[in-house]
Structure 1
Amino acid sequence: MSVESEASTDVESAVVPDTIDRVDADGSVPAARVFERLRDVVDPCSAATGSNLDVVAMGLVKSVDVDGGHVDVEMRLTSPMCHMVPYFYEEVEGKVGGLDGVESVELDTDAGFEWSEELMSEGARRKRQAVLDEQAARYEAERSAERTGASSDA
């Protein structure tokens, strides 16, 4: 069963665990449960800026394919120069591999050319912009204080 990511979903509209069966009738994990677990994987670049957005909200998860006990996750990178691929492998394997019914996890990443801000959920875009606005205001206040201090020293 392959499921494409719905990048337009809101950060706050995470799948509610009580509404998801732990395993399907054939013993495999539902793709929705995999997406739910992927919401626990924080994008490290967003964490570095203080946004702490998960990979689903960021639009980084392109698809999830569940075949029995094997789960294949396809992710978009935000840049061809992304150095966080080992982190993503470790986090995805650890989070998804811990689900009942999952025997193996494979993560495939693209070359970093497909992702754009439009793939982010609306809530993620708002949160990211709020953090950027706050950082810009703080930077401008610091620069203003430096200029004021420099002119009073003269």
Structure 2
Amino acid sequence: MADEAALLEALKDVIDPELMINIVDLGLIYAIEDDDGKVSVDMTLTSPACPAGPQLMQQAKMALENLEDVSEAEIKLVMAPPWSPERMTDDARDHLGMF
């Protein structure tokens, strides 16, 4: 069983190809649960029509399943509540020039 910090750190390796910011700092991760190595993630996209959505979800699954303490990862796409820029970290906002 991995702790949440380790799971989030692994997900930081997944970079949105349009914005060049990781999905954690973008605020796309809504929830993470670890049930004895079976990890479930609620994830959203910056827009419902995001063309990189399937790629980001697959990369998130692979990043988690590469961890020793994770036997299986399920990425669930959720669109409620809708993503907004307020979910981004300060670092992500700085990267995009948002103040």
Q: TM-score, normalised on structure 1?
A: 0.60
Equivalent pairs, count: 98
The answer to which structure has the higher helix fraction is: 1
Q: Which structure 2 residue ranges, 5 or more long, are not aligned?
A: none
What is the match of residue 89 of structure 1? 57
Counterpart code for 1:70: K
Check the 8 A contact 1:58/1:121 in 2, yes or no. yes
SS in 2 for 1:42: coil
The answer to which structure has the higher strand fraction is: 2
Once the 2 structures are TM-superposed, how far is the Cα of residue 112 of structure 1 from its aligned partner? 7.0
**Considering only aligned residues, what root-mean-square deviation do their CA atoms show, in Å?**
1.5
SS in 2 for 1:29: coil
2:78 to 100, 105, 110: 110
The percentage of aligned residue pairs carrying the same residue is 31
Partners of 1:55 and 1:123 in 2: CA distance: 12
What is the match of residue 11 of structure 2? 38
Structure exhibiting the larger radius of gyration computed from Cα positions: 1
* Distance of aligned partners of 1:29 and 1:113 in 2 relative to their CA distance in 1, 3 Å threshold: closer
What is the match of residue 128 of structure 1? 96
**Partner deviation per Cα, 1:27-85 (whole Å, 9 max, x = no partner):** x1111100010111001220xxxxx2100110111111111010011112111112222
Q: TM-score, normalised on structure 2?
A: 0.90
Partners of 2:80 and 2:56 in 1: CA distance: 14
User: Runs of 4+ in structure 1 displaced over 6 angstroms?
Assistant: none
Structure with the bigger RCO (C-alpha within 8 Å, sep 6+) is: 2
Check the 8 A contact 1:82/1:112 in 2, yes or no. no
Check the 8 A contact 2:16/2:52 in 1, yes or no. no
1:62 to 30, 35, 52: 30
